[in-house]
Amino acid sequence: MDELRILIADDHDLIRRGVRDLLAARSGWQVVGEACNGADAVRKAVSLRPDVAILDFSMPELNGPGAAVQLAEKVPETGVVVLTMHDSEQVMREVLQSGARGLVLKSDADRDLLEAVEAVTRKRHFFTARLSELVLGGYLAGPTEKDKMKSKVAQLTERECEVVRLLADGMSSKEAATRLKISIRTVESHRINISRKLGFNSIAKLVHYAIRHGIVAHT
């Protein structure tokens, strides 16, 4: 590869500047774009087609894993490295499930970021030592029940999510229909689809589970 094109996304200017300074140590590596949130990172990646996108885990509008999922769909040739301040199991799960190949702790960036970028360009995975220990520890052997439910919830349409939220607020199908300005029959159709997608035989069980686990906010 003659020149490595890199996109940096972080909502803190000082972090972006620090990453730029680290990348400047490598000849032939060029920062072609910067973004301050996940949604902007996706837009710029689609436009610029970088070889690697370095994404902060926690960003407004769309976090790093969320952006990585969209990049995998829209610019699959772009490898993703996620930077994070936290070495938790949840962070590790979200990053791996997003399709990102690299995960580096910000505290280890001076030591590991360049190596992570190189690994990702070769279609290999790279994890900071502490995060590699978590993987070897076996906690990622399989998704938790909550992870499985979140995956199912992601299949819901925006309107179906609205129906669940209204039902969680205690509304009847008739009240939900009035609020959404649709027919009762349409609400019932949504209820059937929701139950089918999530595997619940009653909407009450769905609402109880969703609220209890924070999957659907009870507003």
Structural fold of domain 4-136: Rossmann fold (3.40.50)
The CATH class given to the 145-212 domain equals mainly alpha
| Domain boundaries defined on the chain | 4-136, 145-212
pTM of the full predicted structure? 0.62
- Convert 14-41 into a string of H (helix), E (strand) and C (coil): HHHHHHHHHHCCCCCEEEEEEECCHHHH
How far apart CA 69 and CA 100 sit, in angstroms, is 8
Q: For residue 79, what is the enclosing H or E element?
A: strand 79-84
Does 145-212 match 4-136 at the fold level? no
Residue 16 contacts residue 40 (beta carbons within 8 Å)? no
What pLDDT is attached to residue 61?
86
- Helix, strand and coil in the chain, % to nearest 5: 55, 15, 30
Kindly provide the b/e burial profile for residues 8-33, where b requires at least 16 CB atoms within 10 angstroms of the residue's own CB. bbbbeeebbebbeebbeeeeebebbb
What pLDDT is attached to residue 28?
93
* Interval 84-101: pLDDT, tens: 998 777 788 788 888 899
Query: pLDDT over 90 for what percent of the chain?
Result: 50
pLDDT tens across the length of the chain (219 residues):
568 999 999 999 999 999 999 999 899 999 999 999 999 999 999 999 999 999 999 998 889 999 999 999 999 999 999 999 987 777 887 888 888 999 999 998 998 999 999 999 998 988 877 666 665 555 555 555 555 666 666 677 888 878 877 877 778 889 999 999 999 999 999 888 888 877 776 666 666 666 655 555 444
